[in-house]
Structure 1
Amino acid sequence: MFVVTLSYLTDLDQVDAALPDHLDWVERQYADGVFLASGRKVPRTGGVILAAGLDRAELDRRLATDPFAERGVAAYEVTEFVAGRVADGLAHLRES
């Protein structure tokens, strides 16, 4: 499982210009089953994504196709972790 932290590199006008394409890209990641949760940071300086069901190389490949990455408006930090304990209903996320 991965926690992806996005940090904006440009002003919000440029982020907002890329946002519709970014949200389409996010929707495709959910449709593929790799994104578990996503949203904006507060204050609005970037975002956070929880992803699972893929390896680091595939995650990196997908992140490179994000319109935010393609337009240079965000940088990404990826942290991989092993979920040893999860809430009820999320047992499929725990590594056995």
Structure 2
Amino acid sequence: MFVLELTYTAPVERVDELLEAHVAWLDGLYEEGVFIASGRKNPRDGGVILAVGDDRARIEEIAAADPFTVGGVCEYRITEFIATKTAPGLAPYRRQLPS
């Protein structure tokens, strides 16, 4: 599992210009089953996305294709972690630690 933390590098007005394309990009990745949660940070200086997958390179490619990235209004920090404990609804994403 991955935590994708977006930090805006441009004024929010420029971010808002790309928001519709960003939401369409998000929707496609929800449909693919890659994203399981997302939202704005508070205060509004970026956002957070929870993504599932085993391939960090693929997640990096996905982040690079975000209209916010392409438009130069945000930077990503990607953190990979092993979800060993989850709420019941997230049980399908639970993993065992490697031995």
Structure 1 residue runs of 5 or longer lacking an equivalent are none
Following superposition of structure 1 onto structure 2, how do residues 1-96 of structure 1 map, counting pairs within 5 Å? 1-96=1-96
- Structure 2 unmatched ranges of 5 or more: none
What percentage of aligned pairs have identical amino acids?
A: 49
CA contact (8 A) 2:2 2:53 kept: no
Deviations 1:28-83 (A, max 9, x none): 11011000000000010000000003411111111111100001000000000001
Give distance in 1, aligned partners of 2:89 and 2:10.
39
Q: Secondary structure at the match of 2:10?
A: coil
State the alpha-carbon separation in 1 of the partners of residues 62 and 88 from structure 2.
29
Quote the RMSD (CA, aligned, Å): 0.9
Following superposition, which runs of at least 4 residues in structure 1 exceed 3 angstroms of deviation? none
Distance 1:24 1:54 in 2: 24
SS at match of 1:48: strand
State TM-score, norm by structure 2.
0.93
Give me the TM-score of the superposition, normalised by structure 1. 0.96
